[in-house]
Structure 1
Amino acid sequence: MSNNRFANLFGLSEADAIVLLDTPIDQLGEEDSRYVAAAQLAYFPSEASIQALIRAVYNNDPAFDNKITRRKAVESLGKLKAQAGLAAIRTCLADTGDTYTIENTAWSIGEIGTQDPEILETLAQLLELPEQTYRIIIHTLGKLDYKPALARIQKFVDHEDRTIASAAIATIYRLTGDDSNMEKVMEFLFHANVYTRRLSIQDLIDTKYYTAIPEITQTPVSMVFRMRGLRLLAETAVPEGQLTIDQLLPHVEQLLLDHPKNLQLVHAYDQTPAIDRLIRELYETDFGRAYLAIKTLIDQDPAVVGPALIKTYYEEAREDYGAHYHVMKLIGWIGYGAGYDILLEGLNVSQPQFQKSKAAAAIALGELGDKRAIEHLKPCLESKLWDLRYAALIALEKLGDTSGYELLANDSDWYVQARAQQAGRSAVV
């Protein structure tokens, strides 16, 4: 079933979206968008929506607006995992000159799933054509366990695009169990290109390569990517008895603390930049550069760095979830007490995209050592966010409050429960 949380994202009802998607291009109003209608129907897993999307896929009008609508219809059928749409979607594999359509088609086939050898072989044959979206094609062939594609996938293990090479190596391991080249995928975790680092984490997740967890925790990308990798890999490794929660706990805590000293940074400065330049780096989408700046700022004079953080917070970081998160952490790392009120604001931020800042603010409050924070942190022990409960536990611990040990000893989250129990045992001893 599709998630209806965004069902009204585009302001169209299911019926309105179907009517709009079926409207001939020459009859559309100036504000009408069939593309938006196709996107909207991904949130309505009904037979009517699926059939409307199928009709859109079969519409071969060469107009650009129809092309992008067709691509989006293919994607929406994939999101709905609509088996009934597979026959229509497979016709798009002939659009070899339209890489965007091929990409959406390959992805949707993987989401829907099939063991039809004709579909899978047609998909595999695309690997022999130039300028295709090789990564997603390889990933789908691996996901659907199509071993006849192995020889063709093998040709990509040394591809100059390391995201493609990573997918090829991981898929060969997935299909054969041969892990002789998986070290290369782990090397890609520390590639200069941020997308290579992120996608190699995804490849390790897809292959359930849990032995890479220590390396993933050190990868200089957003903590969200790393934590997702750890938790998804653990979902396989723990039940199979390959790893225990106690073994994973240090990695979880290291990730939540997210200090740059625990990362393998991939960038470097020839000369230490000025404070203003370092502050600008906090807004980098490549977190590898942001973490380098953070590491450098930690070593500067707090009396200079602190006011610069406060200034950028009120000017810009309040609206930028990446920089917002980094500012929270830095106030704690440099022990800048004047940032206390900003941390309280971060602890209570409500926008969904800023949620990771809540745990960051909790940890920073612990670092400041101001016991006034205890009354603000205690309610966080009952938050719906597991990372905030964990962060509040360790922050309160730093402030001398151990009330969370008993409260969270039977927490619904593996890691929160283990941390509370472990700390509780130590406190008794």
Structure 2
Amino acid sequence: MAERFDVLFEGLSEESSLKILLSDPRDLPNPVDKYMAATRLAACSSDESLQGLISAVDLDPEDLFNRITRRKAIEALGRRKNAQALDCLFKALEFDDEPSVINAADSITQISAPLTDSQCESLLKALKGSDPQKRAVIQAHTRLGLKSGTSFIQTLIHDENPLISGAARAFCARVEGDLDQLKPLIPQLHDLQAGRRRSAVIDLGDSGDINMLQYLIRSAVSMPLRAKSAFQLVDPTKKAEVPEEHINIITTLLQDDPRSLAMRDEWLSQQDPIEIENNLQHRDEGKQYGAALSLLKMPKSQQIEIIDGIRARLWSDYGANYLLTSLIGLACIHEREELIKTSLAETLPQYAKSRVAAAWGCLKLDLTDQLDLLKEISTSSQWVPLRWSCLQVLHNFS
């Protein structure tokens, strides 16, 4: 979803970015500009910028700013999706810098070009790294449909690290058609550890098994992560076209009502304003949804009081912004409908999920004065969950 943040770098021109990208960091007033330049060039299309990014993969990693820039350049090459970058990306698989290797595996996957036997062998060798690297390389094999790693990846389905075994199970399901391997991932969707829930959602999206959709949408992880996996299963062409039989379940996911999630008692909040506010900011989405659920059960007067207090302190926090926007719609709080309109009009990329909540809130609160904006977003947004939400809301209004 890095594309949603391109607007943050629009102030950098392609020409200046290329110059900064390959400059000695010691000669720059702000060396951080080097890796910002690499991110900026990901959104360009010229051959010159492509060659600049390829050259940046050879930056001397002894310098910290060069090393980070190299990682960002590798990531940017994946977004460019040009097969000319494959040679340098396969070279990066041999770096001793783990984030660069992980980015290289991801970028090779995004380019999605046919690989030679030699390249398949190089990707297979990268499976020998650390667990985070191993997971990324298994995912590359899964998403590219590479059978060359089958014999080794099959041995990993019982790995003690669920992030490894889960990725291996997704591979076996998608590449080998062994859907039974996905069964252990279903209870993992409700694990007490947030990281394990998130990885299970990702793995089920990679698995290609549409039957897993009903399970992953109920996991207490962030809506955008669940949406990414769900749309992988129902809309792989990314055209915001969901088959009729899956419209209701995708709608449930994107409306993101905590009452539709599989909640654990450990995540629930007392009906205490301080605890609710603290949990809405918790790093574990289970706690966030638990706080939202508690708020939904309160009388409207208390809901408004708590929402107003949190808004005064945390409205600029995009996590809290999203949850408040969502709650106003879900609870049909007409008294705060202006916040729905404010969120819908917010164009900063980090508030994109708030716009999803606002779109559904417009439907709940019958805000027909927002139809023009909903139509504009439905054609202009690059993020499929937002575009599809607006299309569905417009359809329901018609």
2:71 is matched with 71
CA distance 1:91–1:349, change in 2 (3 Å):
closer
- The equivalent residue for 1:44 is 44
Aligned residues: 384
Give the Cα separation in 2 of the matches to 1:269 and 1:288.
Answer: 5
**Structure 2 residue 119 is matched with structure 1 residue 102:** no
Matched, 1:119 2:119: yes
1:157 offset after TM fit, Å? 1.7
Decide which moves more: 381-390 or 359-368: 359-368
Deviation at 1:192, TM superposition (A): 2.5
Indicate whether 1:286 and 2:288 are aligned. no
Q: Distance in 1 between matches of 2:177 and 2:352?
A: 38
The partner residue of 2:350 within 349, 353, 356 is 353
Aligned residue for 1:12, secondary structure, equals coil
CA contact (8 A) 1:275 1:305 kept: no
Residue 184 of structure 2 corresponds to which residue in structure 1?
184
Question: What is the CA-CA distance between 1:306 and the residue it aligns to?
Answer: 2.5
Contact 2:362 2:368 (C-alpha < 8 Å) held by counterparts: no
1:325 to 319, 322, 329: 322
Letter in 2 for 1:37: A
CA drift of 1:313 comes to 1.4
Indicate if the aligned counterparts of 2:268 and 2:294 stay in contact, CA closer than 8 A: no
Structure 2 residue identity aligned to 1:327: L
Tell me what 2:304 maps to: 306
Q: Which moved more, 1:298-307 or 1:7-16?
A: 7-16
Which of 251, 254, 257 aligns to 1:253? It is 251
Contact map agreement 1:170 1:203 (CA 8 A) in 2: yes
| Distance in 1 between residues matched to 2:129 and 2:55, nearest whole Å | 28
For residues 336-351 of structure 1, what are the structure 2 equivalents within 5 Å?
A: 336=333, 338-351=335-348
Name the counterpart of 1:134: 134
Amino acid at match of 2:119: I
2:368 & 2:268 partners in 1: Cα distance?
45
Q: Secondary structure at the match of 1:384?
A: helix
Partner of 1:53: 53
Distance 1:132 1:351 in 2: 31
Deviation for aligned residue 1:168: 1.0
Point out the more displaced range, 136-145 or 299-308.
299-308
Instruction: Give, in whole Å, the separation in 1 of the partners of 2:265 and 2:5.
Output: 39
Bigger radius of gyration, 1 or 2?
1
Other structure's SS at 2:93 match: helix
Give how far 1:9 is off: 0.9
Q: Secondary structure at the match of 2:184?
A: helix
Whole-angstrom CA distance in 1 between matches of 2:359 and 2:66:
49
Mapped partners of 2:279, 2:269: distance in 1: 15
Residues 383, 389 of structure 1: 8 Å contact kept: no
Superposition TM-score, scaled by structure 2 size: 0.82
Which residue is equivalent to 2:29? 30
Q: How much does 1:117 deviate?
A: 1.9
Task: Kindly state the Cα deviation for residue 176 of structure 1 after the two structures are TM-superposed.
Answer: 1.0
2:206 — aligned with what?
206
Where in structure 2 are there 5+ consecutive unaligned residues? 379-387
Mark the runs of 5 or more structure 1 residues left unpaired by the alignment.
395-403, 406-429
Asked whether the equivalents of residues 42 and 76 of structure 1 are also in contact (C-alpha less than 8 Å), the reply is yes
Quote the Cα distance in structure 1 between the aligned partners of 2:245 and 2:34. Answer: 51
| Residue type of the alignment partner of 1:99 | E
1:263-288 CA distance string (max 9 Å, x none):
10145258836222113222234322
Aligned-pair CA distance for 1:377: 5.3
The Cα of 1:210 is off from its aligned counterpart by 0.8
1:380, 1:388 within 8 Å by CA — same for their partners in 2? no
How high is the sequence identity, in percent, across the aligned residues? 25
- C-alpha change, 1:195 and 1:19, in structure 2 (3 Å) is same
Alignment RMSD, CA only?
A: 3.4
**Which residue identity is paired with 1:101?**
S
Deviations 1:207-235 (A, max 9, x none): 32111111122122233333343333223
Distance in 1 (alpha carbons) for counterparts of 2:205 and 2:336: 38
Distance 1:220 1:24, change over 3 A: closer
Give the counterpart letter for 1:79 in structure 2.
R
Equivalence for 1:145 = 145
Q: Are the aligned partners of 1:220 and 1:264 in contact in 2 as well (CA < 8 Å)?
A: yes
Relative contact order (alpha carbons < 8 A, sep ≥ 6): 1 or 2 greater?
Answer: 2
After superposition, what is the alpha-carbon deviation per residue over 1:14-48, rounded to whole angstroms, capped at 9, x for unaligned? 2333333333455x233344333333322223222
Which of 369, 374, 398 is the equivalent residue of 1:376?
Answer: 369
Three-state SS of the structure 2 residue aligned to 1:300 is coil
Q: Deviations over 1:68-116 (max 9, x none)?
A: 2222222222222232232222222322x32112112222222233422
Distance in structure 2 (CA, Å) of the matches to 1:12 and 1:363: 35
Three-state SS of the structure 2 residue aligned to 1:253 is helix
Matches within 5 A, 1:224-243: 224-235=224-235
Report the Cα distance in structure 1 between the residues aligned to 2:294 and 2:165, rounded to whole angstroms.
Answer: 33
Q: How far apart, CA to CA, are the structure 2 residues paired with 1:155 and 1:105?
A: 24
Q: Give 1:139 shift.
A: 0.9
Secondary structure of 1:247 counterpart: helix
Shift of 1:362: 5.9
Contact 2:254 2:389 in 1 (8 A): yes
SS of the aligned residue for 1:181 comes to helix
Aligned twin of 1:387: 389
Greater alpha carbon shift after TM alignment, 347-356 vs 182-191: 347-356
Distance 1:185 1:362 in 2: 32
